[in-house]
Amino acid sequence: MIEKLIKMAGPREDEGDPSVVVETRPKTKRPPLYKVMLLNDDYTPMEFVVAVLERFFGMNHAEAFEIMLTVHKKGLAVVGVFSHEIAETKVAQVMDFARRHQHPLQCTMEKE
Ligand code: TYC
17 lies in some domain:
no
Confidence of residue 24 (pLDDT cuts 50, 70, 90): confident
Q: How far is CA 6 from CA 2, 3, 14, 17, 109, in A?
A: 6, 5, 16, 21, 59
Separation between Cα atoms, residue 10 and residue 27, nearest integer Å: 29
Residue nearest to atom 11 of ligand 1 (CA): 40
- pLDDT over 50 (residue 8): no
State how many domains the chain has: 1
Q: How many angstroms is it from 75 CA to the middle of ligand 1?
A: 9
Q: Is 105 in the pocket of ligand 1 (CB under 6 A)?
A: yes
pTM given for the model: 0.79
107 and 39 in contact (C-beta within 8 Å)?
A: yes
What is 22-73 written as a DSSP string? PP-S---PPPP-EEEEEE--SSS-HHHHHHHHHHHH---HHHHHHHHHHHHH
Confidence of residue 22 (pLDDT cuts 50, 70, 90): low
Q: Is 72 in the pocket of ligand 1 (CB under 6 A)?
A: yes
Predicted pLDDT of residue 13: 46
Residue nearest to atom 2 of ligand 1 (CA): 42
42 lies in some domain:
yes
Q: Is 37 in the pocket of ligand 1 (CB under 6 A)?
A: no
The domain of 100 spans: 33-111
Least confident of 10-14, 75-79, 101-105: 10-14
Q: Return the CATH number at 72.
A: 3.30.1390.10
pLDDT tens digits for range 39-85: 999 999 999 999 999 999 999 999 999 999 999 999 999 999 999 99
